[in-house]
Amino acid sequence: MAFTIAVDGPAASGKGTISRALAEQLGLAHLDTGLLYRAVAAATLQGATPVAAARALAPSDLENEDFLRTAEIAQEASKVAVISEVRAALLDFQRAFARRQGGAVLDGRDIGTIICPEAEVKLFVTASAEVRARRRYRELAAKGHDVTPEGVLEDVQARDARDMNRSDAPLKAAAGAVSIDTSDMSITDAIEAALALARPAFDAAAR
Ligand code: DC
């Protein structure tokens, strides 16, 4: 059975946590597509050209997740993601993953709009920039990264602007997507809300 849940939204909206929980609860494969752009960014910061790095991307490039989750790589990922040839190089892999047998959850910025508009479930997960920056600050500080709350808010706003205003595959809610605003929700409640939307569609597809 091909069954896809597309989860889009800005940085630190909760989409990653929600996607992982949906995949686990429903027994689906999960792909965090932001990691692809982060891996291209890491190679770019080491001197590669972004397009060549995207074309040469291998599964082992995604392994060092802690390294890929720094603030510096996040900003660079948002920059390489503006380049159409980079996006094109990553397209087939994501589309094949989305329609793999057994079903999949993908989270990113353009899953419901470009990668898999035919997804059975489309979610758009949001939260205010202030709430997202606070979450991201806590996360990075807990891991020992050298960050300030103001710096993280500026980073989040810069990334939002770039991700939403680029001409190729800008971040926006897909047609038919259901929005979940997690600003005032606990993560448990957000997961519950997502499951309540996804489970009926999953049960219908599995029948
Ligand atoms: O989800 P994330 O924060 O790990 O994503 C890092 C950057 O990658 C994000 O700022 C924009 C880009 N990205 C994208 O353009 N399209 C996706 N589907 C996923 C991420």
The pLDDT tens digits for 179-193 are: 999 999 999 999 999
Residue nearest to atom 9 of ligand 1 (CA): 78
For ligand 1, the distance from its centroid to the CA atom of residue 11, given in whole angstroms, is 8
Give the number of the atom of ligand 1 that is nearest the alpha carbon of residue 107.
18
For ligand 1, the distance from its centroid to the CA atom of residue 75, given in whole angstroms, is 9
- The pLDDT value recorded for residue 115 is 98
State whether the beta carbon of 156 lies less than 6 angstroms from ligand 1. no
Q: What angle do CA 181, 81, 68 make, to 5 degrees?
A: 80
Residue nearest to atom 4 of ligand 1 (CA): 34
What's the CA dihedral at 126, 128, 131, 136 to 10 degrees? 60
Residue nearest to atom 3 of ligand 1 (CA): 11
Q: Which of 13, 15, 33, 76 to mutate to test the pocket of ligand 1 (most atoms within 8 A of CB)?
A: 33
Report the mean per-residue pLDDT for the chain: 97
Q: What is the C-alpha to C-alpha distance for residues 101 and 119, in angstroms, rounded to an integer?
A: 14
Q: What is the C-alpha to C-alpha distance for residues 45 and 94, in angstroms, rounded to an integer?
A: 23
Residue nearest to atom 11 of ligand 1 (CA): 78
b/e map 88-110, b = 16+ CB within 10 Å: ebbeeebeebbeeeebbbbbbbb
pLDDT digit string, tens, across residues 23-71: 999 999 999 999 999 999 999 999 999 999 999 999 999 999 999 999 9
State whether the beta carbon of 8 lies less than 6 angstroms from ligand 1. no
Q: Residue 150: what are its φ and ψ, rounded to 5°?
A: -65, -40
Position 207 pLDDT exceeds 90: no
Position 1 pLDDT exceeds 90: no
Among 116, 135, 97, residue whose Cα is nearest residue 10: 135
- The pLDDT value recorded for residue 42 is 98
Structure tokens at 121: 């479930």
Residue nearest to atom 18 of ligand 1 (CA): 108
Domain definitions of the chain by residue range: 4-206
Q: What angle do CA 2, 7, 9 make, to 5 degrees?
A: 160
Cβ atoms of 141 and 86 closer than 8 Å = no
State whether the beta carbon of 163 lies less than 6 angstroms from ligand 1. yes
- Is the pTM of the predicted complex or chain greater than 0.95? yes
State whether the beta carbon of 9 lies less than 6 angstroms from ligand 1. no
Mean pLDDT, range 125-153, rounded to an integer: 95
Question: Percentage of the chain with pLDDT > 90?
Answer: 97
b/e map 44-60, b = 16+ CB within 10 Å: beeeeebbebbeebeee
Among 97, 48, 105, 111, residue whose Cα is nearest residue 76: 48
Question: Looking at the domain that runs over 4-206, which CATH code has it been given?
Answer: 3.40.50.300
For ligand 1, the distance from its centroid to the CA atom of residue 108, given in whole angstroms, is 6
